[in-house]
Structure 1
Amino acid sequence: MTQQELPSAIANIVESSQTPDALFSALLPAVGEFLQSDRCFLYLHNPQTNLGRVAFCWVRTPDIPTVYNEDWAAQPPTLPDEDPMFAAALRAEPSIFVEDVETADSQVLNREFEQENFGHRALIHAHIRQDGQLWGILQPCIFSHPRIWTEYERGVINNLVEKITPFTVSYVKSAFD
């Protein structure tokens, strides 16, 4: 697949942001609006220490639950067994586009785990990876109904992930310097 050009609002943020903090703070609302999602968060992961945190989260309305972690925390050792999408991310596999949590293949996601921990109905599990390692997951989602992700949207997200990878790696590394 050829790289899908980013929508101008997102491209402007990526091109003009000087720091990872500025980029991610501006980017999540723009991605949320572009996809008409209810929530968009960025999970950051240090592949050397296996510590992670959700440092940035945007929600469309106050009734949507926010996902945020103030501190870096170790991942439960059972997480890859409980969450096939996280296991796929750790293996640095391509991003996952889930149109309906209720009907998705159990090899792709654990419906009970998703309902219990996130509550969304459709989502993108966009893996930010470099050199075969997981550095983050960008996760836009919809709560009330299934959502078909178009080829255009998939291309934009895959292109965006590639463009924000250096910022993500820099952010994670700087947190542990």
Structure 2
Amino acid sequence: MTQQDFPAAIKNIVESSQEPDALFSALLAAVGDFLQADRCFLCLHNPQNNLSRVAFCWIRTPDVPTVYNEEWAAQPPSLADEDPMFAAALRAEPSIFIEDVETADSQILNREFEQENFGHRALIHAHIRQDGQLWGILQPCIFDHPRIWTEYEQVVINNLVEKITPLAVDYVKSAFD
């Protein structure tokens, strides 16, 4: 897939020369629209000190809960044990596409953890990784029903993550300069 294969709205944003804050905010809205998601957030992670921050969150409607952190915070030491998807992200494994939280394999997803912390029904856990390290997670999700992620959508998300990885890494590094 080339950038020309991205949906037009996403392509225009990734090719723009916007500042990272504006780019990521616009991108989350475009990804949310493309996937018809209810919420899309970007959690950035500093692998050097294990601090994370949900710096950007887009919601389709005001009744969808926002996920956002103003400050960088340490991940709880138990997070990788409680959340198999986060553990997979830390191991720099490929992104995970969950069609139904209710029926997902417990080796891949902790249903109780997801329900308690996020409330979604279907999600993409897209791992932003470079040199074997986690730098962020892009997470579009659906709340009220399962969702089959098409092959095209999966390719778009995987290629988009590859495209935005240098921007995310620079954003994280600049926050700690």
Deviations 1:100-122 (A, max 9, x none): 00000000000000000000000
Aligned runs of 1:56-71 on 2, under 5 Å? 56-71=56-71
Distance 1:170 1:72 in 2: 15
Distance 1:3 1:134 in 2: 24
Distance 1:51 1:80 in 2: 14
Distance 1:99 1:3 in 2: 26
Distance 2:72 2:144 in 1: 30
* Partner in structure 2 of residue 155 of structure 1: 155
* Partner in structure 2 of residue 50 of structure 1: 50
**How far did 1:19 drift?**
2.1
**TM-score, scaled relative to structure 1:** 0.97
Distance 2:2 2:101 in 1: 27
SS of residue matched to 2:174: helix
Aligned runs of 1:1-177 on 2, under 5 Å? 5-177=5-177
Larger RCO of the pair (alpha carbons < 8 Å, separation 6+): 1
Deviations 1:82-107 (A, max 9, x none): 00000000000000000000000000
**TM-score, scaled relative to structure 2:** 0.97
**How far did 1:153 drift?**
0.1
**How far did 1:3 drift?**
5.7
Deviations 1:16-67 (A, max 9, x none): 1332112101100000000000000000000000000100000000000000
The CA RMSD measured in Å over matched residues stands at 1.0
Bigger mean CA offset, 138-147 vs 14-23: 14-23
Greater than 4 Å deviation, 4+ residue runs? none
Q: Any gaps of 5 or more consecutive residues in structure 1? A: none
2:103 is matched by which residue type in structure 1? T
Q: Any gaps of 5 or more consecutive residues in structure 2? A: none
**How far did 1:149 drift?**
0.1
Distance 2:8 2:38 in 1: 21
Aligned residues: 176
The alpha-carbon distance between structure 1 residues 3 and 110, as it changes in their structure 2 partners (threshold 3 A), is farther
1:84 is matched by which residue type in structure 2? P
